[in-house]
Amino acid sequence: MSSLRRRLFLILLAATGLIWLCAVAWISMGSRSELEHVLDTRLKEAARMVHSLVMAGDPVQGAEKSAQKPAKDPPVQPRDLADAVPSEPGGYERQLSCQIWSFDGRLLARSSGAPDAVLAEEREGFADREVGGETWRVYTIVDPEKNVRVVVGDRIGLRDRLVRDLVAGLAAPALLAMPLLGLLIWWSLGRGLRPLNRAAEQIAAREGEDMRPIPPDGAPDEIQPLITALNGLFAKVEAARAHERDVTAFAAHELRTPLAGLKTQAQVALAAGETGVRENALRQILVSVDRSTRLVRQLLALARLDAGAPVDTRDVSIGALIRDMVAAVPHPPEVITVIDPDLDPMVRQLDPDTLTLLLRNLQENAVQNMTAGTIRWRGEGAGRLVVEDEGPGIPAEELGLVRQRFYRGRMTTAAGSGLGLAIADAAARRLGAQLDIANRTDRPGVRASVDFGSGSWSASAPIR
């Protein structure tokens, strides 16, 4: 269900209806118990009232005396006690029925509507009896002095009907009020969700370039987290767009120089009449092409890291990977790369492409800042890979800036684009490692260390 308002409406309506039904059931059970107690009390009081009439000399006594005459007289008919037993108005008339029995089993008197069969046994008190297919609740008073039993009872069916009418009286308003309650809940939900609708309208009315935060003033506490999350998303999108604009501008600026050089050298080569001048121009064209190729490759690598492409983790021999990488990176003959043999048996589960990207940019950064000297790769401690060069080093005030994209310090050569250490840092973070850049303490040069975490290496035979 896509509508939050409709979902809340159905939940609230169902919960309200369920609570109402439970309340009606609870009231029904409580009312039945209380009603039965009240009706039993009334039954008992009615029996005592009839018995008091018998004790005061009700005409029933005359009927009893007539019954004691010789058998030649006609039998005594039961007297009508309709006036002695109160009736119930409003559809419950003649709910109570009364009988007066002699100890010898003769029916001396009964109320109108009372059955001719015996309603109760000889014992005194309450009892349930089934007479003529109906269940009766009766109360009996035994009078040994008068030799009579007074029995007053009412039908259980009438009691059940009274309870049903009571429950219907409670349920009817609920059923009638449910549509009104539904309309009230729907209207209340509309009022409660109005701030959310206003926020949605504000966002929908914005232009695509508008990334200003949504003002949280007056917003309910429930949608404050949503507004905060949206404002955070706007900030991230704006930062990503600003970064994209910066990358585009820096890339255009960096590519403009080698392209202009290519055009110039091509024009020189075309116009040169001497073979030496032409060959020199062609060599400069190759240098510009190499520089442009490296810059494009770095930009593509940076884009791949930013996109978060899936990694393919497998066992990688650190020493073998460094050897292959060094062989692929061009460097002048005056620059020598030394790889510690202890790195050959070191194996770690990593993404080889991302690791190669990290190592290549560290190697290229060292080569670009050296005219001659040695680059050393070695392991240090548990899970730390170190590369040291013999270049001029990095000024202390620039150490915190060299990993920024397109940052070119004072010591950067003309061939550098300011992306190498930024790519290396992004690749290290992608591998879950930490890249540290510092100047060497034993001599001029830069020391770059990649910490993969303790316990990271495992010894194995070199993978070739």
User: Which two tokens mark 330?
Assistant: 């061009």
* Token pair 């240090």 in the structure block, residue: 380
Tell me the average pLDDT across 453-457: 60
- pLDDT at residue 460 is higher than 60: no
The amino acid sitting at 117 is A
- 96 closest CA partner among 48, 63, 62: 48
Q: How confident is the model at residue 377, as a pLDDT?
A: 92
- pLDDT at residue 169 is higher than 80: no
Q: How far is CA 122 from CA 4, 150, 382, in A?
A: 69, 10, 101
d(C-alpha 74, C-alpha 282), whole Å: 153
d(C-alpha 444, C-alpha 225), whole Å: 52
* CB-CB contact of 40 with 140 (8 Å): no
Domains of the chain, residue spans: 1-54+94-201, 223-305, 311-459
| Exposure of 426 in the CB half-sphere (CA atoms within 13 A) | 20
User: Which two tokens mark 341?
Assistant: 């043999």
- pLDDT at residue 64 is higher than 50: no
Tell me the average pLDDT across 298-319: 71
Q: Note the pLDDT tens digit of each residue in 233-280.
A: 888 888 877 777 766 766 665 566 667 777 877 888 888 777 888 888
10 Å CB burial of residue 228 (0-12, 13-18, 19+) is: middle
User: Which two tokens mark 112?
Assistant: 């109108």
Quick one: pLDDT band at residue 52, thresholds 50, 70, 90? confident
Quick one: pLDDT band at residue 67, thresholds 50, 70, 90? very low
- pLDDT at residue 90 is higher than 70: no
Q: How confident is the model at residue 71, as a pLDDT?
A: 42
State the chain's mean pLDDT as an integer. 76
The amino acid sitting at 409 is G
- pLDDT at residue 334 is higher than 80: yes
φ, ψ for residue 369 (rounded to 5)?
-100, 15
| Exposure of 123 in the CB half-sphere (CA atoms within 13 A) | 5
Q: How confident is the model at residue 376, as a pLDDT?
A: 92
Secondary-structure class of domain 311-459 per CATH: alpha beta
Secondary-structure class of domain 223-305 per CATH: mainly alpha
- Higher-scoring residue by pLDDT: 128, 297: 128
Quick one: pLDDT band at residue 463, thresholds 50, 70, 90? very low
Rounded to two decimals, what is the model's pTM? 0.46
- Higher-scoring residue by pLDDT: 17, 44: 44
